[in-house]
Structure 1
């Protein structure tokens, strides 16, 4: 084998490596360089270069876990709840966010000299000297009046502070710290919102924006309607110019990250692995055939405890769209010609090796139709689509040209390429209106159906009732043996050996291209994972595999072009991975944004194509007919966020750009399409109104709410946060 050959070729290197490894084992933790132990620079993470307080993080983590359990118990008081893996993920996420904002806020308080002294803390606790009592304080209430009882609070705090019980003193300190922290946050909020002010001019503008209505008509054509061959692909020269012009745009700014390319080799059970299960099922087969209680037999002997003797257990051949049980082509003839009581198998099917007892048969009704979809969403569009559909039906009946009309008019991408056909779909799969027409109208009927998608012109082609077996399955799972896994691992090792040879003398980009080409040649799909340096994690892998991938990406100053030195095992699959790129923070390299920028360039060309199609035409109805574009009419206010065709702020901006009633714009490039707009009528806001107090208060309240809700996020975004928990856990840094 190639890998063995390589080991033989490099036997001297192998001996040297083993020798070094043994020396390292003997020396242990001795530092040959004499520089002392490596400094822990990151801890569990850093914020602006300072370590996150690990003790406070653990405290927040315990609090988050306890809160989650308490909430689950309150929601399910009669059940025994358990703390799940998902709960722990949520708790660790909450604890991390709390740790970050806690450290940032403490720094903020220190910088502006914000404190809560003992005098203020006392007043907050007991609601003295004009202070409102804290939320914790007000939990102590007089049993008769229901009012806050400061004496009860004082007694409880004294008992906690003076208690000899272990941990009581710490509980008291934590409670005081919490009350002080809440008060500090209240004072900080008051400081940052005290400067919020709204002028009467702002109030007037808001009033005008909400009350002025522009009734407009516009023709809108989406970029996706431009034929692929209508615009040329961006050239390399155009791309480079666009890159130089836009590389400093904020939207292209890069976060520091590592890109991992990998392909997956499944560890599937071999034929030999299934032998034991087949032998066991063959022994069970006569007993299953003679069993008088099929449900009990399945529940006792099947690894998958599932039994039903109704249509939910009606099986279909693999490849037929279904959410229920299936059987492979290897036993299809036996299944479809079996008698009630026959036991088929053993065979490999869903979930493992199985034998199946035929409990009976059911009928699966299917229909075949062809259709033309005319999209519609508003009442006006439905009315127009119905008129158009009636005209198309007349043409079809006179010329018998259904497929030609599909090509010309249908807006259903799922069927337009096969003459509009949907064949042999089961009852209940389509939306109710479409389903009822397909299954209850006579074969040959042509008519229209209205659904949420629009108006369909439907022709019923055929209907069938197919006999399907109702099965009870005894399933034995098949696990790949170590021998099988080792064979796949050896195959993956050979891939690594071949790739390593191919990488010789190549640039990082060429290595990534060679990796993808090689994987495809072997029949695998290359997948990608982007690991953010500020929060290194890889989703979708077990713990050991994630650790291996993170080591590949970060250990020993990993570089782009580094290939996994050995296969990575992840449950029932083996992975070959490559560090295909290391992206630095800030201005991007061309290759990292090439695809996105090509798409932007293509969109610009599409926009120019549509603008050329629309130039010079002032009659919007004629323009809509000529280009097949949507014709919309609606009333707009400047404060609106969406229009009939979606989020297109340029349409609102154009309507309020100074066009007078009856004036038509030139073609305008929008976010997702090009439009030409006419202002039909303007209904101005009441100019006699001088009281804008409601608008002023609304704007002020919105601004205060925005500041209170977003200042924490703003602090985090303006800080350099590195989450090192995963890398530390795996001993990487």
Structure 2
């Protein structure tokens, strides 16, 4: 303390200055470093939803979860690009919905208790998803004990635990939304006035005559619209002119396609392989597997199932003979006759499936041997299938598979059935496990042929690829402005293509293969800027950005013509309504009014509240409403519709009884459906959502 006082007294102003400078340096350093950190955080933000930031790491973690769940559900070890894109969209929608809805749930005090969740998975009215996952394959009935056993054991299996947590989240989110939407449904009421009005409208049908004077009958030069009126309309209806950010591009493609030289080289390659393929010393199946673009098909075919030229070949050839090369489906082929056999078209069989246990690889085969012995000693196949088979679809039917054709089953199973004898009971292993198969019956055998077809698809060579790339590079170098770009397209007779109204998260542009990078470029480029050369599949692409539309409201100039046309039509309607009223005052019949106005006179019958179109008028709700609410045998006042102005005279009204209780239920159902389909979109529409996914994907 004394030391501190000495410093204060002796250091005086100097110490104060030094301390001040040190503090300033500290503050600046912290500010700069935190500013850098803030900048990095903003760069890594994939979204901001109602003020809540979502980092790319958080979003990608959700996507990865969905990918793992999809793999577990499908049994696949990997997912294609299209599926991953769909899962990204699902993850996005899920995160947006959760953030928006969780705030709503919290505000009204909605939650799902552990007891409620347990009832959803083990209660008498278990959720359909749980019922589907835990149905007893033998009885087809939901098995509550299966769920309980799974819940007890899942903690020892990380995969099962992950799967269950994912399912549990879906169940909770679904129940929360169900409760929230029910609050809205309970707040809706169908009034008696509404029911009676609807009943009256539905109980009536009318026959009527009507006159139509179309808007096109008034020349455009008879009406005028001022700039002030256009601006006023624009300001009053500005919300209807909202637009999302989009881009328009123009582009050309340089397609990499095989040349005649490439085709001849492929034909020569196949021809060079014919000698080896024809050799009796080689295995044609293995030769095809190692050298062909076409996989080996082990099926046996009837002659009539083959192409005519191959049919003529196999019916006159000996085993080992080779036909070709011949050209088919952009592929040069050689076909060798491998085998000729007498086989049926279909077989009827039943089986017992015993799946392999990775922890005890011999267990399934040992059980299969035991069951084979039981069957040899007269055991009932159907009973053993119901008791032991792990194929739930057939086990419940005693292992019965019915009749099946060649190629419907995996190869070892297929061969055992089609090459075995009727009545045989055989044991065979497939990728599903061990099967005990009983061949119940076989169709009539006919002559069939097994073929090995070696094929080489005609593709472009590296030389062709380089030639096309050189053309694209030369075009880009010589035509680096919009004017030169368009002039070169015309001079070289190239086809210009268009990508219009591209959204920042779009993944498709015309028929281009995976053109995501082109869309991302379009949102960074300036109008008139030419793109680098993109390679998408077998195409090189050069594009120019032709238009930028920013998010917000369409500018007045962009919608001026539309507004002017709308205002002109409204003024034309006023002119026509005035003409109708003048003629009604001086004419005594609808026909006279039609003649005086040079309008069209039509008739309509059995028009009801639900009539969508009226012959002679088209889709005109105003005309239908006018007819239903006009007195019989009286000329109505004129009314403006979509296409013109109308006047009606009802000639007949019919009343039919309607079920008001049914109407009430239908109106309630319609209201509930609106909540189901519109509640979430409305919440999202009003939310502040910043979507930066296009910066990352």
Pick from 647, 650, 654 the counterpart of residue 680 of structure 1. Answer: 650
Q: Does 1:183 align with 2:175?
A: yes
Provide the C-alpha distance between the structure 1 equivalents of 2:270 and 2:105, rounded to a whole number of angstroms. 74
Provide the C-alpha distance between the structure 2 equivalents of 1:238 and 1:515, rounded to a whole number of angstroms. 41
Q: Does 1:159 align with 2:159?
A: no
Aligned equivalent of 1:587: 553
Q: CA 1:603/1:477 → structure 2, altered by over 3 Å: closer, same or farther?
A: farther
Helix, strand or coil for the counterpart of 1:563? coil
**Offset of 1:728 from its aligned partner?**
0.1
Helix, strand or coil for the counterpart of 1:191? helix
Provide the C-alpha distance between the structure 2 equivalents of 1:583 and 1:496, rounded to a whole number of angstroms. 26
**Offset of 1:257 from its aligned partner?**
0.7
8 Å contact kept, 1:216–1:680: yes
8 Å contact kept, 2:594–2:601: no
Aligned equivalent of 2:606: 635
**Offset of 1:661 from its aligned partner?**
3.2
Q: CA 1:91/1:492 → structure 2, altered by over 3 Å: closer, same or farther?
A: same
**Offset of 1:264 from its aligned partner?**
1.7
Provide the C-alpha distance between the structure 1 equivalents of 2:614 and 2:77, rounded to a whole number of angstroms. 47
Larger radius of gyration: 2
**Offset of 1:208 from its aligned partner?**
0.8
Q: Does 1:254 align with 2:247?
A: no
Aligned equivalent of 2:498: 527
Helix, strand or coil for the counterpart of 1:39? helix
Q: Does 1:647 align with 2:619?
A: yes
8 Å contact kept, 1:212–1:682: no
Helix, strand or coil for the counterpart of 2:102? helix
8 Å contact kept, 2:262–2:459: no
Helix, strand or coil for the counterpart of 1:197? coil
Aligned equivalent of 2:675: 707
**Offset of 1:203 from its aligned partner?**
1.1
Pick from 198, 202, 217 the counterpart of residue 210 of structure 1. Answer: 202
Provide the C-alpha distance between the structure 2 equivalents of 1:40 and 1:706, rounded to a whole number of angstroms. 38
8 Å contact kept, 2:521–2:531: no
**Offset of 1:547 from its aligned partner?**
0.6
TM-score normalised per structure 2: 0.55
8 Å contact kept, 2:208–2:648: yes
Aligned equivalent of 2:64: 58
Q: CA 1:113/1:231 → structure 2, altered by over 3 Å: closer, same or farther?
A: same
**Offset of 1:709 from its aligned partner?**
3.2
Helix, strand or coil for the counterpart of 2:604? strand
8 Å contact kept, 1:637–1:652: yes
8 Å contact kept, 1:642–1:648: yes
Helix, strand or coil for the counterpart of 1:481? helix
Alignment of 1:505-516 (within 5 A): none
Aligned equivalent of 1:300: none
Alignment of 1:29-40 (within 5 A): 35-36=36-37, 38-40=40-42
Question: 5+ residue gaps in structure 1?
Answer: 1-30, 71-79, 286-302, 311-349, 355-473, 503-513
Helix, strand or coil for the counterpart of 1:633? strand
Aligned equivalent of 1:493: 476
Helix, strand or coil for the counterpart of 1:116? coil
Provide the C-alpha distance between the structure 2 equivalents of 1:722 and 1:263, rounded to a whole number of angstroms. 30
Q: Does 1:108 align with 2:74?
A: no
**Offset of 1:199 from its aligned partner?**
1.6
Superposition CA RMSD, Å: 5.6
**Offset of 1:122 from its aligned partner?**
4.2
Provide the C-alpha distance between the structure 1 equivalents of 2:610 and 2:105, rounded to a whole number of angstroms. 38
Aligned equivalent of 2:543: 577
Provide the C-alpha distance between the structure 2 equivalents of 1:173 and 1:660, rounded to a whole number of angstroms. 67
Provide the C-alpha distance between the structure 1 equivalents of 2:460 and 2:138, rounded to a whole number of angstroms. 69
Helix, strand or coil for the counterpart of 2:158? coil
Provide the C-alpha distance between the structure 2 equivalents of 1:62 and 1:625, rounded to a whole number of angstroms. 75
Q: CA 1:259/1:185 → structure 2, altered by over 3 Å: closer, same or farther?
A: closer
**Offset of 1:211 from its aligned partner?**
0.8
Provide the C-alpha distance between the structure 2 equivalents of 1:120 and 1:309, rounded to a whole number of angstroms. 67
Q: CA 1:134/1:154 → structure 2, altered by over 3 Å: closer, same or farther?
A: same
8 Å contact kept, 1:663–1:679: yes
Provide the C-alpha distance between the structure 2 equivalents of 1:145 and 1:573, rounded to a whole number of angstroms. 56
**Offset of 1:99 from its aligned partner?**
3.5
Provide the C-alpha distance between the structure 1 equivalents of 2:268 and 2:596, rounded to a whole number of angstroms. 69
Q: CA 1:159/1:215 → structure 2, altered by over 3 Å: closer, same or farther?
A: same
Provide the C-alpha distance between the structure 1 equivalents of 2:243 and 2:90, rounded to a whole number of angstroms. 23
Moved more, 693-702 or 585-594: 585-594
Provide the C-alpha distance between the structure 1 equivalents of 2:613 and 2:629, rounded to a whole number of angstroms. 17
Aligned equivalent of 2:663: 695
Question: 5+ residue gaps in structure 2?
Answer: 1-31, 272-292, 295-305, 310-327, 333-455
Q: CA 1:175/1:260 → structure 2, altered by over 3 Å: closer, same or farther?
A: closer
8 Å contact kept, 2:213–2:644: yes
Helix, strand or coil for the counterpart of 1:539? coil
- How many residues end up aligned between the 2 structures? 485
Alignment of 1:287-298 (within 5 A): none
Aligned equivalent of 2:19: none
Helix, strand or coil for the counterpart of 2:243? coil
Aligned equivalent of 1:117: 113
Provide the C-alpha distance between the structure 1 equivalents of 2:637 and 2:150, rounded to a whole number of angstroms. 74
Q: CA 1:45/1:674 → structure 2, altered by over 3 Å: closer, same or farther?
A: same
8 Å contact kept, 1:142–1:149: yes
Q: CA 1:351/1:631 → structure 2, altered by over 3 Å: closer, same or farther?
A: farther
Alignment of 1:129-140 (within 5 A): 133-135=126-128
Aligned equivalent of 2:523: 553
Helix, strand or coil for the counterpart of 2:532? coil
Provide the C-alpha distance between the structure 1 equivalents of 2:571 and 2:540, rounded to a whole number of angstroms. 44
Q: CA 1:180/1:490 → structure 2, altered by over 3 Å: closer, same or farther?
A: closer
**Offset of 1:188 from its aligned partner?**
2.0
Helix, strand or coil for the counterpart of 1:216? strand
Provide the C-alpha distance between the structure 1 equivalents of 2:591 and 2:78, rounded to a whole number of angstroms. 63
TM-score normalised per structure 1: 0.52
Q: Deviations over 1:541-570 (max 9, x none)?
A: 64674314412413xxx5x42502534444
8 Å contact kept, 1:247–1:587: no
Q: CA 1:194/1:552 → structure 2, altered by over 3 Å: closer, same or farther?
A: same
Q: CA 1:493/1:245 → structure 2, altered by over 3 Å: closer, same or farther?
A: same
**Offset of 1:606 from its aligned partner?**
8.2
**Offset of 1:588 from its aligned partner?**
1.9
Provide the C-alpha distance between the structure 2 equivalents of 1:208 and 1:694, rounded to a whole number of angstroms. 14
**Offset of 1:626 from its aligned partner?**
9.7
Moved more, 572-581 or 711-720: 572-581
Q: CA 1:253/1:284 → structure 2, altered by over 3 Å: closer, same or farther?
A: same
